[in-house]
Chain A
Amino acid sequence: MGLQEVAAVWAEGRASGPAPRADAVDVAMQRYAEGDEAAFAVVYDALAPRLYGYLLRQTRDSGHAEDLVQQTMLHIHRARARFIPGAKVMPWAFAIARRLFVDGLRRERREVPVAEGGDPDGGPALGASADALVQARECAARIERVLAGLPASQRAAFELVKYEGLSIADAAVVLGTTVAAVKLRAHRAYEALRSALGDVADDLGGAAR
C-alpha cells in the first residue's frame, strides 16, 4: 500500500460517501439560477458534505465548520443572479469556503489547535479488523501532525487534491495560483509525508500483503 492509499484510508474515514458528479451540481445550480427554487436543496446536498469535511479538517470544530458551510451556501445563494451557465460550482464553492475560513482566522487572530489525537470524528469508519483500525488511526494522527507542520500553501494544495478530490486545475482555481504551482506544492507535501511516514506505509503495505 502506498502513501497515497494510506492517506486515502484516512480520508475515507472522514469523507461523506461518494463524491457527487460535479456536472450534476452544476446543472442543479443552473436550474436554480433559472428560477427552480427546489434546485437549491440539490445544490446543498451535493456541496454541504464535502464542504463540511473540508472545513472540519481546517477548523477542528464541528460547530464552526457548520457555520462556515452555512455562510458558504448563503453566498452561493446570493450569487444566483450572477451564476454563469456552465460554470463549475465545486471549485467556486471551495474557494468561498476557504476564503471565509481564512477571513475568520484572521479576524479572530487565533491559532488553530492541532488535535493530538488527530481525529475529531472518532476515526475512520472502516469495516476492518481492530489491528488495522488502530494502525489507521495512528497513521491518521501522524499524517495530521506532518500536515500541520507543512507550509500552509503545501497543505492546502495537498488537501484539496488528495482529500477533496479536486482536479489539479480546480485546486489551482481555488487557491488562485497556477496548475504547476499546485502540482509542485502537492508533490512537496506528498514527499514530506512519505519521508515522515515511510515506516507506517511499509507496515501497512506488509499488512496488506
Chain B
Amino acid sequence: MNTSRPAPELRERVLAAVRREPVATGREGARGRAAVVLRGFGVAAAIAIAAGIHGSEAKTPRPPGCILSLELLWLSLAVAATWAGVDRGRSMLGRRKAWRVAVATLTPAAMLAAWLPVALAWPETLTIASGLRAHLVCTAMTMALAAGPLIAFAWLRRASDPVSPRLTGAALGATAGAWGDVAHVPICGYTEPAHIVVGHILPVVLLALVGVIIGDRVVALRAEAPGR
C-alpha cells in the first residue's frame, strides 16, 4: 500500500470544512477591499480637512507653487510605494523581498530627496522658522493621517504572508507614512530642513517600524492554536 497519499477521509473532511465555512468570491472580496481602502483614506481626508480648517501656525504662507510641487512629488512616491509595497503583483506571496526592502527603506529617503529641488526652487521657504513644537505637532499629525491608510493596508494583507510578514508590514508602514505626508503637505506651513526631517520624514521611518510589529501580528499567516 502506498501510504504517501493522504487518507481518502481527509478529502471529505477538508471539503466538508470548506462547505461549513463559506467565504466571499473574488468579486465580492474586491468590493470589500475597495470599501476598506475608501474608509481608510476617508479617515485621513477627514483629519486633514479638520486640521486645514484649524489652519497652520506659520506666519508666512508658502508659495502655492512650492506646495503643489512638493505635493505632486510626494504623491508620485506614495503611488509608487503603494504599487511596490502594498500591491502583490502577480504572486499570492507578494512582490519580491527586494521590492519591499526598497519600499521600507527608500521611501523616506526618496521623499527627502524629492523635497530638495522644491527647497532649491523656493529658497525663501527654507527660512520660515518653525521650532521643536511645530516639528512634533507635524510628527504626530503625519502619523495620525497615516493611521487610516495603514489600518486599511494591514486589513488588506491580514493573515496573508507566510514568508516575510515583518518586511511586508514595514513596507505597508512606510507607504502609509508617505500617504500621511501627501495629506499633510497642503496644511503644514513649514518647509525648512529640520522641520521636513523631524515632522515629515521621521514619521515615515517610525511607521515602517510600527509596520514591522503589524506585520508580525496582523499580516503574518500563522497556524491556528491547538483546540481552535
Residue A146 CB within 8 A of the other chain: no
Q: Once the chains bind, are A77 and B4 in contact (CB under 8 Å)?
A: no
Known: A80-B24, A91-B93. A71 touches B18 (CB 8 A): no
Return chain B residues, CB-CB under 8 Å to A13.
4
A interface size (C-beta, 8 A): 57
In Å, the complex CA distance between A44 and B177 comes to 40
Nearest A residue to B9, CB-CB: A66
Among residues 8 to 22 in chain B, which have CB atoms less than 8 Å away from a CB atom of chain A? 10-11, 13-15, 17-18, 21
Residues 190-228 (chain B) with a chain A CB within 8 angstroms: 221-226
A19 to B159, CA, bound (A): 28
Taken residue by residue from 86 to 130, chain B's Cβ proximity to chain A (1 for < 8 Å, 0 otherwise) reads as 001111110001000000000000000000000000000000000
Chain B residues in 8 Å Cβ range of A75: 159, 221
Expressed in whole angstroms, the Cα–Cα distance for A125 and B163 within the complex equals: 34
Residues A87 and B163 in contact, CB atoms below 8 Å apart? no
Chain A nearest CB: distance from B29 CB in Å?
Answer: 2
Residue numbers in A under 8 Å from B162 (CB-CB): 95-96, 98-100
Which partner residue on chain B sits nearest A88 by CB separation? B91
Let me know if B5 is at the binding interface, CB within 8 A: yes
Query: Smallest CB–CB gap between B80 and chain A, Å?
Result: 20
A41-B15, A77-B18, A77-B23 known; A69-B91 Cβ under 8 A: no
The interface size of chain B toward A, counting residues with CB under 8 Å, comes to 43
Complex: how many Å from CA A91 to CA B94?
Answer: 12
Distance, CA A103 to CA B220, complexed state (A): 11
Contact A40 B15 (CB under 8 A): yes
Q: Does A127 contact B (CB under 8 A)?
A: no
Q: How far apart are A121's CB and chain B's nearest CB, in angstroms?
A: 5
Tell whether, in the assembled complex, residue B160 and residue A122 are in contact, meaning their CB atoms are under 8 Å apart.
no
Q: A44-B11, A95-B162 are in contact. Are A81 and B6 (CB under 8 A)?
A: no
Q: Is the CB of A87 within 8 A of B4?
A: no
B23 touches A84 (CB 8 A): no
B27 at the interface (CB under 8 A from A): yes
Asked if B29 contacts A82 (CB within 8 A), the reply is yes
Q: Report whether A80 and B222 are in contact in the complex, using a CB–CB cutoff of 8 Å.
A: no
- Shortest distance from the beta carbon of A101 to any chain B beta carbon, whole Å: 8
**Alpha-carbon distance A37/B29, docked complex (angstroms):** 16
- The reply to whether the CB of A56 lies closer than 8 angstroms to some CB of chain B is yes
On whether A44 and B14 interact (CB within 8 A), knowing A71-B223, A99-B163, the answer reads yes
Contact of B29 with A80 in the complex, beta carbons under 8 Å? yes
CB distance from A32 to the nearest CB of B (A): 8
| With A44-B14, A107-B223: A35-B25 Cβ-Cβ less than 8 Å | yes
Tell me the smallest distance from the CB of B125 to a CB of chain A, in Å: 43
With A and B bound together, what is the CA distance between A88 and B90 in angstroms? 8
Q: Enumerate chain B residues within 8 angstroms of A66, measured Cβ to Cβ.
A: 6-7, 10
Give the complex CA separation of A66 and B221 in angstroms.
Answer: 19
Q: How far is the CA of A34 from the CA of B24 in the complex (A)?
A: 10
A73, B88: Cα distance in complex, Å: 21
Chain A residues numbered 147-204 whose CB sits less than 8 Å from any CB in chain B: 173-178
Contact between chains at A15 and B4 (CB < 8 Å): yes
Measured CA separation A35–B25 after assembly (Å): 6
What residues of B have a CB within 8 angstroms of the CB of A178 in the complex? 97
A70 near B13 (CB under 8 angstroms)?
Answer: yes
C-alpha gap A85/B27 in the complex (Å): 11
- In the complex, whether B76 has a CB less than 8 A from a CB of chain A is no
Whether a CB of chain B sits under 8 angstroms from the CB of A62 is yes
**A52 close to B5 (CB less than 8 A):** yes
Specify the chain A residue showing the minimal Cβ separation from B11.
A44
Of the candidates B6, B25, B93, the one whose C-beta lies within 8 Å of that of A48 is: B6
Residue contacts A-B, CB under 8 angstroms, 10 given:
A14-B4, A34-B25, A49-B6, A74-B18, A81-B25, A84-B91, A96-B162, A103-B222, A103-B223, A121-B2
Q: List the 5 shortest-distance A-B pairs measured between CB atoms, nearest first.
A: A81-B29, A99-B162, A176-B163, A103-B223, A33-B26
B binding-site residues for A, Cβ under 8 Å: 1-7, 10-11, 13-15, 17-18, 21, 23-30, 32-33, 88-93, 97, 159-160, 162-164, 221-226
